[in-house]
Amino acid sequence: MKNYYGSLCTEMYEFLHYYAPEEELAFYLSYAKEGMKILEPLCGSGRFLVPFMQRGFDIQGVDSSREMLEKLKQKAPHARVTQCDIVRYRPNGSFDYIFVASSSMSLFTEAASCKSVLTAIRRMLSPGGVLVFGVDTVRCKHEDDTGYRLIATAPMTEGCVLTLRSKNRYDEKTQTQFSPGLYELKKGNQILQSERMDFQTHLYKLGEMEALLSETGFSDIKTYRSFSRKKAVDNACEMFLFECRANSRQA
């Protein structure tokens, strides 16, 4: 399944990305105010959601991966999270602030699917509510001819080792980065379990996401090139960060 985090993928993700990067976490926290209702779509295993909870914010999460949410619940048993596709998610009430961290919006590789997600998020926002998220840019494109190569090794229990091998291909026409992964749980030379992930991301050019946001009912759109809120002026950066408001005329 494209971009689905299964059991082995989740274990490796936890090993590599257990904590949220401090600068990115501070960026998303800076929009949170006391009394806000906050939602994190694609919350994964909670490396952003849990720190929000620890600071006393009223936050909920939604993710399609059962395995990732199980990890989240181990960290924060009282977290209010739902396993669901974000487009099908029907929360009780609306939210004042929604953020999507870790450039996860790039996982929606087709314009139609991205618009569906943005439309769903727009409907969940209170009039004037703020949406903040990031995407990867075309500066991140990567291609190699070496086939699968070892990316990471993680020690597991009972003398087992989890490995990740991956390769990269970029499609210029669709601006899609293909990075399929092969996860293998081994004990010695024996493979106990394996899992494949068809990881794909859409890499954006300046102005591309802005057009989608306007089409789906957002206004006051700001595009940054860094967590320090430097304005993006070209494609010479590895991420775009967007801050926008729900257009009250389309509430």
Phi/psi-derived region of residue 71, left when phi > 0, alpha when psi is between -120 and 50, beta in every other case: alpha
Helix axis angle, 7-16 to 66-75, nearest 10°: 50
Mean pLDDT along residues 137-146: 92
Mean pLDDT along residues 133-142: 97
Q: Return d(Cα 161, Cα 175) in angstroms, integer.
A: 34
Q: Which pLDDT value is given to residue 1? A: 58
Radius of gyration from C-alpha coordinates of the chain: 18
CATH class of 7-137+203-250: alpha beta
Phi, psi of 55 (to 5 degrees): -90, 5
Tokens 């499609």 map to which residue?
Answer: 171
Mean pLDDT along residues 144-156: 92
Amino acid identity for residue 5 in this structure:
Y
Query: What is the pLDDT of the chain when averaged over all its residues?
Result: 96
- pLDDT tens per residue, range 37-52: 999 999 999 999 999 9
- pLDDT tens per residue, range 185-199: 999 999 999 999 999
Q: Which pLDDT value is given to residue 187? A: 97
For residue 21, give the DSSP letter: -
- pLDDT tens per residue, range 219-246: 999 999 999 999 999 999 999 999 999 9
Q: Where are the beta strands (DSSP E) in the chain?
A: 37-41, 58-63, 81-83, 95-100, 125-136, 149-155, 161-166, 169-171, 176-178, 181-187, 190-197, 200-202, 218-224, 239-246
Give the torsion through C-alpha atoms of 82, 85, 86, 88, to 10 deg: -100
* β-strand partners of 163: 153, 184
Amino acid identity for residue 25 in this structure:
L
- pLDDT tens per residue, range 67-125: 999 999 999 999 999 999 999 999 999 999 999 999 999 999 999 999 999 999 999 99
Contact 198, 180 (CB under 8 A): yes
Q: Return d(Cα 225, Cα 240) in angstroms, integer.
A: 5
Contact 61, 71 (CB under 8 A): no
Q: Return d(Cα 238, Cα 245) in angstroms, integer.
A: 24
Query: Is pLDDT at 251 greater than 90 in this prediction?
Result: no
